[in-house]
Structure formats: structure tokens, C-alpha cells
Amino acid sequence: MGRPSALREASADRRSQEQSILAAAKHGPLQSLTERELEVRGQPLTIYPWNAQRRVKAWVRFGPEAIRVDAKIVRSTPIAAGIEFKADGQTYRCWVWGNAVQLAE
């Protein structure tokens, strides 16, 4: 059934991350790699069905503000990951370099 304290910690972590995302979002728009950087015309693109999307930790930027978020990979190329994460009921999507992403434990 799970430990009640572990559930409270997970909930507190989610709230803390959500507050961090909202604070970072005040510094500017979410940054994403460009089509030129992604080389979409010359690279294969993988789009993952919902049951194959992996949980990750990823570095993203809102304007100049960098923050690490819990996200999921929804698409990828050999050099980049298309990620998705949520805060305050809003879904954020962006492309980040592959080395900015680490599989969650």
C-alpha cells in the first residue's frame, strides 16, 4: 500500500518542482531547440506511444533561467529529446539536447 510518509514526500516534491517551474517561467519563455539545431530533415525522428514514454530528469531553460524538471520523453532524434512536463495544469513541451536528459530512477 505504500508508506504514508513516502506519499507525502512525493507530493511535496511535486509541489516544490511546480513552484520552481512557475518561478522560472517568470524569467522568460520556455526555450526549445530550433529545426536547424535538430537537423530534422537529415535525422530519423521517433515518436513514442504513451506506453513507451520514459520518465526522465531534464534541464530546460525559461529565458536565461535553467531548471531541472521531471518530464517524459515523447519523441527523439539521435541527438535530441522532445520532452513534456506539467505545472499548474499547464503542459510544457520542448526539444532539448540528448545529454540534458537522464532516465529517472
Q: What is the pTM of this model?
A: 0.84
* Rounded-to-integer distance, Cα 37 and Cα 64, Å: 18
How far apart are alpha carbons 17 and 40 in whole angstroms? Answer: 31
| Structural domain spans, the chain | 4-103
Tens digit of pLDDT per residue, the chain (105 long)?
556 676 676 666 788 889 999 999 999 999 999 999 998 788 899 999 999 999 999 999 999 999 999 999 999 999 999 999 999 999 999 999 999 999 997
pLDDT for residue 2: 57
State how far the Cα of 31 lies from the Cα of 90, in Å rounded to an integer: 16
